[in-house]
């Protein structure tokens, strides 16, 4: 993988060659062109990283350009979120560009096309249009309106612009070739009537340019040199080139396609993500289980981990499905370096240290990162009553269970060696408390006599801790490829993708967490505060990722 990265991917190679040939006067200008009709997902991150990194690598510029030519579905909240998310990912765009800023110029280009006899106003209804278009195996038929005189087309197009027609009544079509094997070239629509208010141009327009017309011309107007897009646009490239070759445009950018990112156990399509939100399978666009960048950010993903992931998977022309485990391992690698360590108990079991003085509290010294002294220490209180994890006790433990059991001794991290003396149960027979003793000679966790105590468990001081809710997330789908087949993909949702624990006890220091800081709860995983869900008296923490890949262990291959 690294070898491949050193050589660079095929797009890098194309750009290098262009630079050697002094194509585009040695300039590199790319763009990331989201349509503001939803929130960005991890797939978009691939395109963002690619476009911004190519510009950076070759001393060029990458524009953020909103492809906002379909007012029906576009909203300002999406624009704001996309800007914020691109910045959060670590990329700097100066001022965003908008395709809607070119509406006047695009209109002029359309008129130019009509004057050249290369576009006509078509009065076929949408159904007729479909009929005339033909199929993959059958040629299309010419529209009866195809040979309208230029002046008539100019007049009709003007009337379209002035609101004289209803939606669907007329369209402006490029006059290319109804017999082309490429359906995109069968006189594609380039302007349609749409009586919708645009988030930026308001009610100025009632005709809007189609994506294929807008995109290539916006690229050209901005002086884009390399227009990088995903593979589904490959069949649109002849149209991209036809428009730019036919019109007098400032430049002719080169469209280059690459494979989209797919990840297993999730879906990466705005439409499907929207469905999950609308049908309340998740709490919203920023649900921490979603692969949206807003959701991932809320969950505790770092921009570094996402950028690194995009870097590792590389760029190619071949479609593939990436293992979610790889994304999570990039996240672990990053968090392992930077996350401060703390202690928290998710399913608390009370422990009373019977030989510890009543009312006494000691300050124990805990390291914020055992491998990084420079991250410093903190004091944590220890007293007669603490909480440990229910899972760290077994009434009848097997020999290899190096945790608490009747008569067994364990190390409380950063504190003392303690021995379990008595188990207290409620009427239902459930264990509700352990009575232990501590060895006062073992402060800090070491026995002066050198006796071996294998197990070390985490704990929290009972009379000075933070009550919190913790949300554990798992894969959103149980099926590796939830979209497979024609069955409803929501049937593959994982019913256990969210587990809420309401009685968690966390180390006091977590009462004041800086926004966005992810912590390692020792032995449990990485967690961060969910600022949106937290209440004043009940903070909520998200599990960002587990310490190890539980799914790898479960798969039969491993």
Q: Which residues are catalytic?
A: 35, 260, 270
Q: 180 or 230, CB closer to ligand ATP?
A: 230
Instruction: State the virtual CA torsion across 49, 52, 58, 63 in degrees, nearest 10.
Output: 160
Instruction: Using CB under 6 A, pick the residue from 28, 224, 261, 518 that binds ligand ATP.
Output: 261
**Least separation in angstroms between CB 50 and ligand ATP:** 8
Region of 30-38, 72-80, 382-390, 391-399 interacting with ligand ATP (CB under 6 A) = 30-38
CA-based torsion, 159, 164, 167, 169: positive or negative = negative
DSSP string, 134-199: --SSS-----TTTT--HHHHHHHHHHHHTT-S-TTT-EEEE---TT-SSGGGSS-EEEEE----BT
Q: 34 or 405, CB closer to ligand ATP?
A: 34
**Least separation in angstroms between CB 545 and ligand ATP:** 21
Binders of ligand ATP in range 217-236 (CB under 6 A): 229-230
How many Å apart are CA 120 and CA 111, to the nearest integer? 10
Q: Does 330 bind ligand ATP (CB under 6 A)?
A: no
Phi-psi region of 46 (alpha: psi -120 to 50; beta: other; left: phi over 0): alpha
**Contact flags string 133-162 toward ligand ATP, x per CB under 6 A:** ------------------------------
The DSSP bridge partners found for residue 189 are 173
Q: Does 75 bind ligand ATP (CB under 6 A)?
A: no
- What three-state secondary structure class fits 472? strand
Instruction: Using CB under 6 A, pick the residue from 15, 24, 29, 33 that binds ligand ATP.
Output: 33
Q: Does 199 bind ligand ATP (CB under 6 A)?
A: no
Which H or E run includes 35?
none
* Backbone phi and psi for residue 437, each to the nearest 5 degrees, phi listed first: -120, 155
Q: Does 46 bind ligand ATP (CB under 6 A)?
A: yes
Q: Does 475 bind ligand ATP (CB under 6 A)?
A: no
CB count in 10 Å sphere of residue 28: 21
Q: Does 65 bind ligand ATP (CB under 6 A)?
A: no
Residue 202 CB burial class (10 angstroms; 0-12, 13-18, ≥19): exposed
Instruction: Using CB under 6 A, pick the residue from 18, 28, 29, 44 that binds ligand ATP.
Output: 44
**Least separation in angstroms between CB 259 and ligand ATP:** 8
Instruction: State the virtual CA torsion across 391, 397, 400, 401 in degrees, nearest 10.
Output: 20
Instruction: Using CB under 6 A, pick the residue from 270, 341, 408, 543 that binds ligand ATP.
Output: 270
Region of 159-167, 262-270, 375-383, 536-544 interacting with ligand ATP (CB under 6 A) = 262-270
Size of the site for ligand ATP (CB under 6 A): 15
* Backbone phi and psi for residue 222, each to the nearest 5 degrees, phi listed first: -85, -5
Closest CA to 381 of 513, 524, 508, 521: 508
**Least separation in angstroms between CB 93 and ligand ATP:** 14
How many Å apart are CA 48 and CA 495, to the nearest integer? 32
Give residues with Cβ within 8 angstroms of 180, minimum separation 6.
186
**Least separation in angstroms between CB 43 and ligand ATP:** 2
Instruction: Using CB under 6 A, pick the residue from 10, 12, 35, 445 that binds ligand ATP.
Output: 35
Instruction: Using CB under 6 A, pick the residue from 260, 347, 369, 523 that binds ligand ATP.
Output: 260
**Least separation in angstroms between CB 47 and ligand ATP:** 4
**Least separation in angstroms between CB 230 and ligand ATP:** 3
Pairing relation of β-strands 61-66 and 261-263? Answer: unpaired
Kindly list the residues in this chain that would bind ligand ATP in the complex (CB under 6 A): 33-35, 43-44, 46-47, 229-230, 260-261, 268-271
């Amino acid at each position: 993988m690294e070898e491949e990265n050193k050589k660079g991917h095929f797009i890098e190679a194309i750009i290098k060659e262009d630079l050697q040939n002094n194509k585009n006067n040695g300039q590199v200008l790319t763009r990331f062109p989201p349509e503001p009709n939803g929130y960005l997902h991890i797939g978009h991150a691939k395109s963002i990283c690619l476009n911004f990194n190519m510009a950076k690598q070759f001393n060029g510029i990458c524009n953020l350009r909103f492809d906002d030519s379909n007012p029906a579905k576009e909203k300002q909240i999406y624009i704001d979120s996309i800007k914020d998310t691109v910045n959060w990912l670590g990329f700097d765009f100066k001022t965003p560009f908008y395709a809607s800023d070119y509406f006047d110029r695009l209109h002029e280009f359309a008129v130019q096309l009509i004057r050249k006899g290369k576009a006509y106003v078509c009065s076929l209804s949408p159904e007729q249009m479909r009929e005339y278009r033909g199929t993959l195996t059958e040629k299309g038929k010419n529209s009866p309106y195809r040979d309208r005189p230029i002046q008539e087309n100019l007049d009709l197009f003007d009337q379209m612009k002035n609101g004289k027609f209803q939606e669907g009544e007329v369209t402006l079509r490029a006059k290319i070739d109804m017999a082309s094997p490429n359906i995109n070239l069968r006189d594609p629509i380039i302007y349609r009537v749409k009586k919708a208010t645009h988030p930026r141009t308001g009610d100025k327009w009632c005709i809007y340019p189609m994506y294929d017309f807008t995109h290539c011309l916006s690229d050209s107007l901005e002086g884009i040199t390399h227009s990088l897009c995903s593979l589904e646009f490959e069949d649109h490239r002849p149209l991209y080139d036809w428009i730019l070759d036919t019109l007098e445009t400032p430049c002719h950018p080169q469209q280059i396609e690459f494979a989209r990112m797919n990840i297993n156990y999730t879906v990466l399509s705005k439409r499907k993500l929207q469905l999950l939100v609308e049908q309340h399978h998740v709490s919203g666009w920023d649900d921490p289980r979603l692969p949206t960048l807003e959701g991932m950010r809320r969950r505790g993903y770092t921009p570094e981990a996402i950028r690194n992931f995009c870097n590792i998977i590389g760029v190619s022309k071949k479609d593939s499905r990436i293992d979610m485990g790889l994304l999570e391992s990039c996240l672990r690698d990053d968090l392992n370096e930077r996350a401060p360590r703390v202690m928290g108990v998710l399913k608390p079991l009370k422990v009373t240290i019977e030989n510890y003085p009543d009312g006494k509290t000691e300050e124990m010294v805990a390291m914020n990162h055992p491998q990084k002294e420079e991250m410093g220490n903190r004091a944590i209180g220890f007293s007669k009553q603490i909480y440990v994890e229910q899972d760290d006790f077994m009434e009848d433990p097997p020999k290899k269970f190096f945790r608490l059991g009747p008569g067994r001794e364990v190390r409380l991290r950063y504190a003392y060696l303690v021995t379990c003396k008595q188990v207290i149960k409620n009427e239902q027979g459930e264990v509700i408390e352990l009575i232990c003793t501590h060895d006062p000679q073992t402060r800090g966790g070491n026995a002066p006599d050198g006796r071996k105590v294998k197990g070390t468990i985490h704990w929290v001081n009972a009379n000075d801790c933070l009550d919190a809710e913790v949300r554990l997330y798992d894969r959103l789908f149980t099926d590796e490829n939830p979209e497979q087949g024609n069955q409803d993909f929501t049937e593959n949702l994982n019913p256990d993708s969210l587990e809420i624990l309401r009685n968690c006890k966390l180390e006091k220091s977590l009462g004041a967490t800086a926004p966005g800081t992810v912590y390692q709860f020792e032995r449990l995983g990485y967690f961060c505060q969910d600022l949106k869900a937290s209440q004043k008296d009940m903070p909520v923490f998200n599990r960002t990722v587990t310490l190890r890949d539980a799914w790898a262990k479960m798969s039969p291959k491993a």
